[in-house]
């Protein structure tokens, strides 16, 4: 029995060495993944905290303040400036104008020639104020489709007036109802 117990002891010792050697070799990877996850969680929690502290005005008020409201897809966006913070400009292909046809047409004419169109009947406009920290939900990425509430700055430039609105059937119906309730 002593040979069988010594062989079991040797097997257990080898198994422990293999397990702990493998674990210590993989620890840096686990720590890096954990650090990445904790940074992602921290960033998410900070974003959620800022969203909770940021309160948008009712849609009716935001609609009155906007010169134009339209749905569109972000085709291109300026790269972040020196620190990554601050407002940027985006080229948006207009899909449907809910309010301010003339404002949108004027902005399309002012910045982009007729040959740069977003498709048949879809003008491209430049919208400033994307990523503005003073606006609750103002971040957008390339290919995002949103409802834009913008104002004309008097020089043919469109500037984001309030938070971007997710493009859903409910949000389109609600926005149109607010615009047409006047």
Would the pTM of this model clear 0.75, i.e. be above it?
no
* CATH number of the CATH domain containing 130: 2.40.50.120
- Backbone φ and ψ for 69, nearest 5 degrees, come out as -135, 130
Same domain, 83 and 38: no
Q: pLDDT, tens digit, for every residue of 39-64?
A: 677 766 666 666 566 777 888 888 88
Give CA torsion, residues 99, 105, 107, 109, to 10 deg. 180
Strands (E), the chain: 68-77, 88-99, 124-130, 145-152, 158-160, 165-166
Same domain, 168 and 152: yes
Domain tally, the chain: 2
Q: pLDDT, tens digit, for every residue of 75-85?
A: 998 887 766 66
Same domain, 32 and 92: no
CB 90 within 8 A of CB 78: yes
């Amino acid at each position: 029995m002593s040979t069988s117990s010594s062989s079991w002891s040797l097997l257990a010792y080898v198994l422990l060495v293999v397990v702990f050697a493998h674990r210590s070799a993989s620890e840096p990877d686990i720590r890096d993944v954990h650090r990445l996850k904790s940074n992602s969680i921290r960033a998410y929690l900070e974003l959620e905290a800022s969203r909770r502290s940021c309160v948008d005005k009712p849609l009716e008020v935001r609609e009155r303040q906007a010169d134009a409201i339209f749905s569109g897809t972000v085709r291109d966006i300026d790269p972040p400036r020196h620190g990554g913070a601050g407002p940027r400009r985006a080229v948006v292909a207009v899909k449907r104008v809910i309010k301010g046809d003339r404002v949108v047409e004027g902005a399309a004419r002012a910045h982009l020639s007729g040959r740069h169109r977003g498709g048949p009947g879809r003008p491209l406009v430049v919208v400033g104020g994307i990523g503005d920290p003073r606006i609750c939900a103002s971040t957008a990425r390339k290919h995002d489709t949103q409802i834009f509430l913008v104002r004309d700055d008097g020089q043919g430039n469109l500037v984001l007036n309030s938070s971007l609105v997710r493009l859903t059937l409910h949000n389109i119906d609600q926005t149109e109802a607010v615009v047409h309730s006047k």
